[in-house]
Chain A
Amino acid sequence: DAKTTQPTSMDCAEGRAANLPCNHSTISGNEYVYWYRQIHSQGPQYIIHGLKNNETNEMASLIITEDRKSSTLILPHATLRDTAVYYCIVRVAGSSNTGKLIFGQGTTLQVKP
């Protein structure tokens, strides 16, 4: 299974962009990169996903390098409510075409006033 590596923790000033990096050097060609976040004791919340092109939605942008070995999640204007654990996940391809999510330890993002 493709594995992801993220920094354990990061700080960001409120109103500034938060850039969360992720390494996934063993990713396969047909595996997607997903980002979720989890606020304490709640279920993980979907943020964004992509295959090889950069993606943007109302929450964030996802930048994937050309070799697909790393990606960056960008929260353009972080607020205190963005304080959470952010998980970078490679959605695993399987022989039966399932797509289980393999969670790592994630990055704890602390947004400070």
Chain B
Amino acid sequence: KQEVTQIPAALSVPEGENLVLNCSFTDSAIYNLQWFRQDPGKGLTSLLLIQSSQREQTSGRLNASLDKSSGRSTLYIAASQPGDSATYLCAVRRNNQGGKLIFGQGTELSVKP
């Protein structure tokens, strides 16, 4: 059974710091991995989608990497801003389970001005 773990559960940093959020998964047979952002009381906003054949994806200050063999993904946020404060979730889609995403529990990020 696929399990997704995110570490740390919560993180507080001063504005301007570069930071890394971690996501690990137990079964390397994934189709793709997606990082989401969730603001309090809101739905999920897709940040980056990495296909299993890719090693990384970049969007602005965000960079996500994928290492299937070790079952790990990282989300790197450069020059963090207070507006980055949110919960960040990673989710994996398996090869043989249609569209189902398996989510981690999320990392709650707080960026202090």
The answer on A and B forming one complex is no
B residues adjacent to A (C-beta < 8 A): none
A residues adjacent to B (C-beta < 8 A): none
